[in-house]
Structure formats: structure tokens, C-alpha cells
Amino acid sequence: MKKLLSKLLLGGLLLCSPSLMAQKISDQLPWSVRMVESEMLRCPEAWQLDFQPTLKWDYCHGLELQAFLDVYDTYNDPRIFEYAVAYADTMIRPDGSIVAYKLEDYNIDRVNTGKYLFRIYDQTKEERYKKAIDLLRSQLDTHPRNEDGGFWHKKIYPHQMWLDGLYMGAPFYAEYAYRNSQPQDYADVIRQFLLAAKHTYDPTNGLYRHAADVSKQQKWADPVTGQSAHSWGRAMGWYTMAIVDALDFIPKHETGRDSMLYILNNIAIQLKHLQDSKTGLWYQVLDKSGEKGNYVESTCSSMFIYALFKAVRNEYIDKSFLNVALKGYQGILDNLIETDKNGVISITQGCAVAGVGGEKNYRSGTYEYYLSEPVRSNDPKAVGPFIMASLEWERLQRFGYLPK
């Protein structure tokens, strides 16, 4: 069934694939470059990423284009930078307002792409990009919060903290504070991580559940803890990436930073324990790893591998976890990467979307629910982290830590 859904959803690529027939990609290129080249062929215009038929200001564009800029910084292909800038040119108006963005929606997802704008502004110095960054930062000043200070995931999801939201808001918040000399904000950034852990931690298995409703009103929420029912792989992947990325900007002396490192180390331990022994990957529903119907999933696996590589490199976790990351990375290459006759690569078996609650099609958060969501290839939430994980792996090669 999942394979059928993948094929059906791949039909969406027809929206943005006219160049695929004409060009070839060399298998001698690094994996990060091959994936970027493949995405640019699939989607000649950057706004078409994430299977989009119309303009959208979305976290997926920011995730991928941030990774593209990392590849540009490493390999210096100006076509990659031009492709990334084109999205900013399309979406940012002269006054700094953003197409398809409404601050009053208070959707934390919309903040993530601001990280990519930092990079574009650094290179171009166009004032409209700085204005757009400031606009996104201003959302956090009035974004709804729980009584304990935790950001709501969205205005339409009152009192809810989702692990996903930490990636969407916290690294941008931390980088803005760093770049604009606002050290008073670091405490609030750290608070978001610690509150998310407090509200979602499951002491029975050491994992963090997908979300929590602090008001305990949602049908999906446990009436005692307010937690959702399961630990979804990608939610923990978002949270883990958020930690390693936000730590880039939080000073070592900042109170609470050590607690973030403690959480990160606990996650690393759980990931080593739950890593599939056969493939080296991780499952869609982590607390049901290996059970009937569950499947190894590309978005969470790519996220975990990137975060582990980076955490080892920065000495946040023990160097022994490098072996976990290496096994996982090889597992992706062996099990989830497909190459067509033109050398265009795809990453398969990615959950298209998952959440809890909602108004139109209520999402129960049950085990069966997570397995029912569509599975597709080249989901941006796998593509971006795979590129970032590949860059970490390639860095190890360049510095002689891996056999070439």
C-alpha cells in the first residue's frame, strides 16, 4: 500500500520536472551535490520545492534552501546560490513583507525560513531581506504562549507544544539574538527546549512524545499528562536537529545550556538503542520500533544522522556515537536512495505529513494513524537533512576520518 501511495504522490513531480529528460548527473559528485542537482532538475524554480503548484512561504523551502546554501559554501557552485536567491527574490517584496505570510496567523512553522534569509542578506546586503527577517522575529514578541512561557504551535492549536515547533522557531530565535546582540533572549530560547522536554518526556522509555496539550482538552491528549499517545520519529528528529543547531549560537556559560546537552545525550542513547540492526535506520513510530506495520522512515532517519554527526563533531556527545551515525548513513545509501538512468537520485520512504488534532480531518495520534499517512519519495523533510548529513560525512572524508 505504501509503495502504491508513493507512486501516486510522485505524480506531483510532473509539476516541476521538464528538465529531467535532458540532463545527467555524474555519479562521481559528492552525495550532497547529487541531491541538490537532482532537486534543481525536478524543480527548476525554487518555489516549486515541496511539490508546490503556487507560491507558498513554508518551512520546507527554508529547510532545503538552507541545506543548498551549505552545499554552496562547501563546493562554491554559483548556480546553487542563484537558485536559492531566486526564492527570496520571488517571495520578499521591497518593503520586506512576505508573499503568503500573515503574522497574525501565529504559525511557528513560518518562522523557520528566516534562517535562510540571514544567509541571503549576508551575501547581498539587500535591505528588504533584513526587513523580512525583522518581521519574522517580531512574530515571536506577540506569539501566543502558555502560562509557563512555552510558545503555542499555532494560534489554531491553543496551549499545544509540538516537538516540531522547536525546530521551526528556536534556532532562528537564537541566531537572531546572536547577530543582533540580544543576549537576554538566550534564556527564553533555552526555556522553549526545556518546556518541550518537560511536557513531552515519557519516563517509561526515555523518549519524547510528539506533542502535549497543556490544557489537556484535546481528544488526543492524555487526561493526566496532556501528552499525545506516541513518539513520532520525525517530531523527535526536528527536536534533535533544533538542539544541535541552536547550540551554535548559545554561549557556553548560559544557564540551562547544560540541560539542553543532557537532553541531547539522552536522545543519543535512545537512538543507539532503537537503531534497526538490519538497516541502521529508525522507524516511523519510535516507541513501536519493529512492530507489525511500522516501517523505517527516511525523514527521521536523515534528521537523526545529521544531528548525531554534528553533535559528535562539536563534542556534545561521546565520539562513540559516530558509529551510530555512520551505520545510519550507510543504511540510507543502501536502502533508501534510488538512481535513475540519468543519475538523478531520489530518497524514498518518507512520511508526507503527520500531526495531531485539527478541524477538518481530525488526527487522533494513534499508532494506526501514523501508519495511515501517505509515504512518498523526495519529501523535502528527508531531502534537506540528507544533504546536511552528507555534508557532515563528506567533511569527515576530507579530513581523513573515513576511508575514501
Question: Tens digits of per-residue pLDDT, 256-274?
Answer: 999 999 999 999 999 999 9
Contact 288, 205 (CB under 8 A): no
Contact 213, 219 (CB under 8 A): no
Q: By CB neighbour count within 10 A (0-12 exposed, 13-18 middle, 19+ buried), where does 96 fall?
A: middle
End-to-end CA distance of the chain: 38
- What pLDDT, on the 0 to 100 scale, is given for residue 4? 33
Collapsing DSSP to helix, strand or coil, 368 comes out as helix
pLDDT, tens digit (0-9, with 9 covering 90-100), for 150-159? 999 999 999 9
| Residue 215 pLDDT > 70 | yes
Rounded Cα distance between 135 and 66, Å, is: 19
| Residue 8 pLDDT > 60 | no
| Residue 49 pLDDT > 50 | yes
Closest by alpha carbon to 353, among 102, 59, 37, 55?
59
pTM for this one? 0.94
- What pLDDT, on the 0 to 100 scale, is given for residue 403? 63
Dihedrals φ, ψ of 103, to 5°? -55, -40
What mean pLDDT comes out for the span 202-221? 98
| Residue 193 pLDDT > 70 | yes
pLDDT, tens digit (0-9, with 9 covering 90-100), for 25-41? 999 999 999 999 999 99
Rounded Cα distance between 150 and 183, Å, is: 19
| Residue 16 pLDDT > 70 | no
What mean pLDDT comes out for the span 85-92? 98
Active site residues: 164
- What pLDDT, on the 0 to 100 scale, is given for residue 6? 39
Rounded Cα distance between 91 and 98, Å, is: 6
pLDDT, tens digit (0-9, with 9 covering 90-100), for 358-388? 988 999 999 999 999 999 999 999 999 999 9
- What pLDDT, on the 0 to 100 scale, is given for residue 400? 81
The H-or-E segment that residue 307 falls in is: helix 298-313
- What pLDDT, on the 0 to 100 scale, is given for residue 87? 98
Contact 241, 235 (CB under 8 A): no
In sequence order, the 6+-apart residues with CB closer than 8 A to the CB of 228 are: 200, 209, 210, 211, 212, 220, 221, 222, 356, 365
| Residue 336 pLDDT > 60 | yes
Query: C-alpha distances in angstroms, 184 versus 139, 150, 168, 307, 372?
Result: 17, 16, 20, 26, 43
- What pLDDT, on the 0 to 100 scale, is given for residue 12? 38
pLDDT, tens digit (0-9, with 9 covering 90-100), for 112-132? 999 999 999 999 999 999 999
Q: By CB neighbour count within 10 A (0-12 exposed, 13-18 middle, 19+ buried), where does 220 fall?
A: buried
Collapsing DSSP to helix, strand or coil, 305 comes out as helix
Instruction: State the cell numbers at 342.
Output: 540519468
Closest by alpha carbon to 325, among 275, 267, 283?
275
